């Protein structure tokens, strides 16, 4: 498939894709879209940044265009990802069409969501926890959702949403079209997917725990007391937007203040930020009003910012899979990106476990280089 025009899509969708600059489909879109258009359940595993959102959203909107009364449910692990998906649907749906999307996630006054749900809607984009709140309050039902998407299924389980997903599943119709998208694949993910899907087709476009080939990855051995100075050197020499990952909320805020005091254009996003603060930080980073965003791993999944050129791991992630999802914020949809990871001497063992898994540069006991 050389263009989206090669798919059997309506003119309305093709026009929407043209307006948002989607011309050539990515490999995951080439593999998944035809299957979903045919009404086939799909399990899709593809690397972070490969275009999974469009892979499920495009056929879903096409199906809704043929069935004006149909409803759809899209589940995402974080509100950041849910907001990204909601935004993409709003770009894709014809403005004058009968279908609308409603976002159901935490960090937003639930009473405002009550009001939204009183108006007609076709697509629910939700996080499991907030969706359960509404189901128990009987403010929405999922029994008429003929189309279901589970995005970032592995992250759902990492965050402990297994029980909520089982509860949600009980309310879904038996006959439905379901797609399951994930970046990594473990036995627990297999069980979750098999419980939701019926005779699915599998799309494996990457090996488990692979890293994006368009990202230039490097490692820098540093002394702990020099990390902030070295970070500022890295920030000064890099052009374009930079996402800096820090271990904790407190350390993220301190680094944000430190960089701001030195005159850097920087924002922060972490668990202690209000939804309004998160929205403001993301809007300024996306519009390039600020060059740097300091974040905890809350931002490692769900942020689809096309202009991120660099990822700096100021602190090592808790586990190797988090490394994959951090660096996946750059090099998205075939674009080139760079990542650099700071490693102190005390962290060589932890880094080498990550490096071994992803076939990256190892650090010796007495050496370390970029």
Q: Which of 48-57, 174-183, 214-223, 226-235 has the lowest mean pLDDT?
A: 48-57
Beta-carbon contacts of 192 under 8 Å, excluding residues fewer than 6 positions away, are 150, 153, 156, 157, 162, 165, 180
Q: In terms of pLDDT, which residue wins out, 325 or 223?
A: 223
> Which tokens go with 368?
């370390």
If you average pLDDT over residues 344-348, what whole number do you get?
A: 92
CB burial of 243-267 (b: ≥16 within 10 Å; e: otherwise) equals bbbbeeeeebbebbeebbeeebebb
Using only C-alpha atoms, what is the Rg of the chain? 21
Q: What is the pLDDT of residue 103?
A: 95
Contacts 24+ apart (CB under 8 A), 106-115: 106/79, 106/130, 107/79, 107/274, 107/275, 107/278, 108/79, 108/275, 110/134, 113/139, 114/139
CA–CA separation, 314 and 251 (whole Å): 10
- Angle separating helix axes 79-92 and 275-286, nearest 10 degrees: 50
Confidence of residue 122 (pLDDT cuts 50, 70, 90): very high
The residue whose two tokens read 């800096």 is 244
DSSP state of 268: E
Whether the per-residue pLDDT at 366 is higher than 50: the answer is no
Interval 181-232: pLDDT, tens: 987 777 777 888 888 988 899 988 755 445 667 888 999 999 999 999 999 9
Beta-carbon contacts of 156 under 8 Å, excluding residues fewer than 6 positions away, are 75, 77, 128, 150, 162, 165, 192
Beta-carbon contacts of 81 under 8 Å, excluding residues fewer than 6 positions away, are 151, 152, 301, 302, 303
pTM summary value: 0.69
DSSP state of 224: G
CA–CA separation, 345 and 224 (whole Å): 8
> Which tokens go with 244?
């800096």
Determine what percent of the chain is predicted with pLDDT higher than 90. 54
Whether the per-residue pLDDT at 233 is higher than 90: the answer is yes
What are phi and psi for residue 72, nearest 5 degrees? -135, 150
Whether the per-residue pLDDT at 367 is higher than 50: the answer is no
Q: In terms of pLDDT, which residue wins out, 335 or 53?
A: 53
Q: What is the pLDDT of residue 1?
A: 66
Whether the per-residue pLDDT at 59 is higher than 50: the answer is yes
Range 215-358: architecture per CATH: 3-Layer(aba) Sandwich (3.40)
**Parts of the chain belonging to CATH 3.40.50.300:** 4-204, 215-358
Whether the per-residue pLDDT at 370 is higher than 50: the answer is no
| Residue 150 host element (H or E) | strand 145-150
| Residue 357 host element (H or E) | helix 348-358
Q: In terms of pLDDT, which residue wins out, 73 or 302?
A: 73
Q: What is the pLDDT of residue 334?
A: 66
Alpha carbon of 289 to those of 136, 253, 270, 292, 314: distances in Å?
41, 19, 19, 9, 22
Range 4-204: architecture per CATH: 3-Layer(aba) Sandwich (3.40)
């Amino acid at each position: 498939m050389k263009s989206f025009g090669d798919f059997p899509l309506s003119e309305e969708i093709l026009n929407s894709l043209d307006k948002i600059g989607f011309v050539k489909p990515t490999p995951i879109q080439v593999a998944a879209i035809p299957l979903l258009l045919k009404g086939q359940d799909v399990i899709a595993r593809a690397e972070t940044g490969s275009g999974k959102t469009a892979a499920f959203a495009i056929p879903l909107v096409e199906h809704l265009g043929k069935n004006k009364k149909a409803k759809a449910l899209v589940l995402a692990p974080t509100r950041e990802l849910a907001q990204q998906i909601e935004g993409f649907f709003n770009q894709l749906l014809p403005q004058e069409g009968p279908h609308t999307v409603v976002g159901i996630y935490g960090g937003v006054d639930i009473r405002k969501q009550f009001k939204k749900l009183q108006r007609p809607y076709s697509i629910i984009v939700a996080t499991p926890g907030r969706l359960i709140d509404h189901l128990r309050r009987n403010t929405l039902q999922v029994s008429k959702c003929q189309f279901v998407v589970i995005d970032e299924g592995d992250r759902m389980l990492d965050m402990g949403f297994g029980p909520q997903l089982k509860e949600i599943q009980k309310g879904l119709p038996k006959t439905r079209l379901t797609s399951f998208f994930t970046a990594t694949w473990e036995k627990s993910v297999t069980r979750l997917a098999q419980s939701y899907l019926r005779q699915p087709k599998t799309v494996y476009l990457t090996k488990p725990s692979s890293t994006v080939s368009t990202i230039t990855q490097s490692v820098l051995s540093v002394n702990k007391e020099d990390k902030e100075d070295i970070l500022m050197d890295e920030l000064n020499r890099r052009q374009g937007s930079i996402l800096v990952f820090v271990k904790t909320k407190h350390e993220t805020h301190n680094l944000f203040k430190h960089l701001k005091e030195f005159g850097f254009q920087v924002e922060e996003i972490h668990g202690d930020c209000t939804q309004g603060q998160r929205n403001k930080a993301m809007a300024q980073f996306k519009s390039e009003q600020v060059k740097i965003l300091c974040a905890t791993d809350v931002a490692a999944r769900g942020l689809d910012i096309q202009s991120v050129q660099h990822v700096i791991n100021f602190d090592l992630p808790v586990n190797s899979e988090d490394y994959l999802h951090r660096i996946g914020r750059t090099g998205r949809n075939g674009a080139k990106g760079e990542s650099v990871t700071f490693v102190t001497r005390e962290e060589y063992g932890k880094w080498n476990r990550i490096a071994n898994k992803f076939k990256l540069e190892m650090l010796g006991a007495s050496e370390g280089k970029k």
